A and B are shown apart, each in its own frame.
Chain A
């Protein structure tokens, strides 16, 4: 059973729809026990960081997430909230990753919207994925690079397309919106 963490961010339903398409059982919940007992946890989301962090703290979901030992996958805002801090609303985040999140300088069009490739350095998450394959991004803030970065993307500058620390995985792009490649990445996560 997969639990998708419910919080005040948009697009939570998209990942549920895609897990359904993959024939994988999942629930959307903000209940601590449902999250703790899941085989795997997904932390998705599109939205604003400071209000999302505030909500997580109010519900004590921050503590729940930090205590997880099973594989967890953060997506987009999920990835950013797993970093140390973000410039968005000057927010202290969960601090699972040592990366920090900054706003893209307006040297090109922002948000970074659309299909872009990434190069992965390692990791089972990208098993059978070609570096030339494109995935779908939509974001105005980016996580910098750290030794926990497992894939990079270049737009305006090089940033973390994916990060991993222990059982915690995260992608800046949206596997649930990345057609067949996205399916492959989600399947890799589900097989961890």
Chain B
């Protein structure tokens, strides 16, 4: 049986992992390779690395880091942040990334999804959607959640699928950082509207939030950052709990 995936997300700045709540009080959290290695040992199913600065100068540092991650890790990993072109993707894939996550650039130029899919296959295109419930609608936001677009979330998700996106990483901005649980309504709406896997993100605070996510929606994976970084929830404990509660999960 296909298992539900637990995915820790590491925010990267200048080649280091950073921890912060809602981008406030960002602290150095050490070597991403070490942290990633720990997560692999603990049973993380995949990893996501997000370059939160994504400037040109930092690009080289990021590529070096991706190369090192690929040399040290034997589970799939996704790299995101500031990807604008097929050429950007080629560099990251050649450095060893399994998948790339694209967000604002895909909203600006949806054909970018098709171009990447044609070149590297759909399986490597993770389209990230930052969404917020506003005026009785789930709308798509870009530029790290700062700019509202005209796009409605479910319609955009369907378009991503038709353009050849392989997975959708759906972050509910209303829930992000609140630790009150995933946004089950929009996660379910999107995952029922498309036939590609949906990774839910934003709001994980307790183990039962993952149980609700997997028992009440069609989401294929749950992504979280701070609860794992701050050791509030340990991955093995979470996985055993889900397993005991009849969620198909990979236990070590």
Contact = CB atoms under 8 A, between A and B. Distances in A.
Contacts, number: 88
Contacts of A48: 121
Given A47-B121, A140-B122, A114 B220 contact: yes
A10 interface: yes
Contact of B5 (A20, A47, A114, A179): A114
A115 B45 contact: yes
B24 interface: no
A23 interface: no
A174 B45 CA distance: 13
A112 interface: yes
A54 B155 CA distance: 37
Interface in A119-142: 134, 136, 138-140
Contacts of A10: 93, 120-121, 124
B115 interface: no
Interface in B91-136: 93-94, 96, 98, 120-124
A110 B98 CA distance: 17
Given A115-B5, A179-B75, A14 B220 contact: no
B74 A18 contact: yes
Interface residues of B, number: 31
B32 interface: no
Contacts of A111: 122-123, 166, 196-197
Interface residues of A, number: 36
Given A111-B123, A111-B166, A116 B3 contact: yes
Given A109-B196, A179-B75, A46 B3 contact: no
A11 B98 CA distance: 7
B94 A177 contact: no
A114 B98 contact: no
A187 B195 CA distance: 36
Contacts of B197: 109, 111, 113-114
Contacts of B70: 13-14, 17
Given A14-B70, A110-B195, 16 more contacts: A10-B120, A17-B71, A46-B123, A109-B196, A111-B197, A113-B123, A114-B5, A114-B221, A116-B2, A116-B3, A136-B75, A138-B76, A154-B1, A177-B98, A179-B74, A179-B75
Interface of A: 10-11, 13-14, 17-18, 20-21, 46-48, 106, 108-117, 134, 136, 138-140, 154-155, 174, 176-179, 182-183
18 contacts: A10-B121, A11-B98, A17-B70, A46-B121, A47-B120, A109-B196, A112-B2, A113-B197, A114-B2, A114-B221, A115-B250, A136-B76, A174-B76, A177-B75, A177-B98, A178-B75, A179-B40, A179-B75
